[in-house]
Amino acid sequence: MTQPQCQHAAPAGLELSPLATDAGWPASLADSLHAQGVWGQDAWHRVSPSPFVLSTQEAQFIRDLGPAVWSFYKAVNHLYLRKGHEWAKDWLDRGKPGWLADFSRMHFSKQHLPRLLRPDLILGDGRMWVTELDSVPGGAGETAALARAYAANGMNVIGGADGVPEAFARAVTDVAGKESWTLAIVVSDESEDYRPELQHLASILRAMGYCAWCVTPQEVIFDEEGLWLDNGEVRAPIDVLWRFFELFDLRNIPKSELVMYAAKKRNVAVSPPYKPFLEEKLALGLLRHEALADFFADEMGEHYAFLKAAVPETWVLDPSPVPAHASIPGLTFRGRPVRDFLDLAEASQKERRMVVKPSGFSPLAWGSRGVVVGHDVSQDEWAQALRSALEQFDHTPHILQRFEEGRRLEVDYYDHRTGQTGSMTGRARLSPYYYVIGDEPVLAGVLATICRADKKLIHGMSDAVMTVCAEERCEGGEPERTSPEV
């Protein structure tokens, strides 16, 4: 079998020239994102004429955050695979089929961890909050495209013009264990909205000389020697299969059992690994749990206090009765310890500044689906959300998290639907992308999503403004290590 020829003569990035007017430049940016396939047909949103500028302290906090998040993933992996703390492992296993939990414990993958880390940060007043962690995130392709576009117009961005594809390629090289490899980014039908941006990212990698393709599961071929890519343009053995599908959906993914078999036989490297316990929001509840404080402090060292301070108070909505002499750790209501989560059903609008979220392994656990913001619904709806979450604990655990509101800020934008520029008061979610190379998380870029200030949930809605982040220029030496209070 001959190896594929993957080099392409023309670069796949956005080729834009600076235009004379501010209105012309963002319009050109939006048109190019669409024309080059970064956006799907219906995936338009507003764009900014410039990157979102972070203070030196904010940018340093994001740089410090990568090693802390990586340390946390290693700690959760150790927690799950070692003896002890069975109650925590029971929480992580809730709702998972036994065959998948058994597979995640197999010796061949014990040390395998996600190589792409993306925390979601809410930019608050004087600090940042880590509200979620994602190891199967969208947005990397758009981050790469936007960074190239702004850099081509003389603007500095965190990670540089090619931060995402370069770090991605280095991470894949690390996973493959060799310099020459074939990468298949496998996107399921459930995740098809992200296929355009990942196809674009794969095209950038091919332009850089790598053999990288974004494919459907149907384009993966199996034989006893491993997995093969056969998409009509190339047929080649797959060295690294980059998983862009959720583990709850495995039964609907064609050939998923064959991928698992090939991974177990070490015929292909799969990243992120089939470890559903690393994809649960309730892991943040474990980080904040008093009973695990010593464990995480020992495992994470200085990173423990740093990350814990950045995570809002989070609890796992477990309906198990609390002993008469105890209470739910860290949770109080009207000045008294809480022994039953349903006590919170009586909370007033001011008192229920909390969020209920499905933890993971569910179609409701991504893309802001299934999220209930307490002070954004009626008291009856809030009480029902708590009851429903507790009733679903055995098959779909939920978490309860303090709602931390982002600070109000102004952002300029271009709206393709009206052809007009404008300014919007909004709140920002920052999504840094860290690719892990060896034992080091490398910050490749930071995507900013700004939604109208009246929106409680920040995500890539059509009237959101999407851009990447830059750091303010300043004189002097390197900033010191930061805390969440920035």
**What residue spans of 361-407 are helical by DSSP H?**
379-391
Enumerate residue ranges in the chain where pLDDT < 50. Answer: 1-5, 7-22, 477-479, 481
Provide DSSP, 105-156: T-GGGTT---SEEEEEEEE-SSBEEEEEEESS-S-HHHHHHHHHHHHHTT--
403-419 pLDDT, tens digit each: 999 999 999 999 888 88
Give the pLDDT score at 29. 87
Amino acid letter, 292 = L
Q: 86: closest CA among 243, 292, 248?
A: 292
Order the strands of the 314-316 sheet from edge to edge. Answer: 314-316, 398-402, 354-358, 372-373
Count each helix (H run) and each strand (E run) in the chain, helices first: 12, 21
Other CB atoms within a 10 A radius of the CB of residue 442 amount to 18
Q: 166: closest CA among 212, 104, 98?
A: 212
Contact 206, 7 (CB under 8 A): yes
User: What is the sign, positive or negative, of the torsion defined by CA atoms of 173, 176, 181, 184?
Assistant: negative
Tell the burial category of 172 from Cβ atoms under 10 Å away from its Cβ (0-12, 13-18, 19+). Answer: buried
Give the pLDDT score at 23. 56
Measured CA to CA, the distance from residue 206 to residue 286 in angstroms comes to 41
286 CB-near residues (< 8 Å, 6+ apart):
76, 79, 88, 91, 292, 296, 316
Give the pLDDT score at 20. 31
Give the pLDDT score at 352. 95
Measured CA to CA, the distance from residue 160 to residue 408 in angstroms comes to 27
Q: 124: closest CA among 372, 403, 355?
A: 403
β pairing state of 269-271 and 240-244: parallel
Provide the 3-class DSSP secondary structure of residue 16. coil
Provide the whole-model pTM: 0.92
β pairing state of 420-437 and 440-452: antiparallel
Give the pLDDT score at 433. 98
97 prior amide bond cis, ω within 30: no
**Which 8-state DSSP code applies to residue 376?**
G
